[in-house]
Amino acid sequence: MKLIILKDFGTVLTGRELGFRSYKILADDLEYPVAFDFTDVSAMGSSFGDEFIVPIANKQDKTVYISNANPVVMSCLQDIAEEYGLIIESQMVLSK
């Protein structure tokens, strides 16, 4: 499973534009399934998630694999999952 390191796109992930641009950077080269590592990401907005997380989840049976998401990020992911009918598979991995 390929791991996407979200802090490569910033530590505060907000806005549709950033989400869309970030997705487009990866879209053509992704091999599914992928997992999202939120190490060092302090916050994520639902607009970013709509444009970045949802298209990837839709390509892997509506499942989102998450690691190292703090409670703020996890809350946002749960809201997105509820809105779009996604399944969140979460694992806390301490990488420090």
Per-residue pLDDT band for 95 (boundaries 50, 70, 90) equals: very low
* 3-state SS, residue 42: coil
The pLDDT of residue 91 is 80
Specify whether the CB–CB gap between 55 and 83 falls below 8 A.
no
CATH architecture of 2-91: 2-Layer Sandwich (3.30)
Q: Is 70 exposed, middle or buried (0-12, 13-18, 19+ CB in 10 A)?
A: middle
Tokens of 49: 């998630």
pLDDT in tens, 29-70: 999 999 999 999 999 999 999 999 999 999 999 999 999 999
Q: What pLDDT is recorded for position 30?
A: 93
Domain boundaries, the chain: 2-91
Asked if 39 and 9 count as a contact pair (C-beta separation under 8 A), the reply is no
What is the pTM for the complete model shown?
0.90
Between 92 and 70, whose confidence is greater? Answer: 70
Task: Give the CA angle between residues 2, 80, 34 to the nearest 5°.
Answer: 5
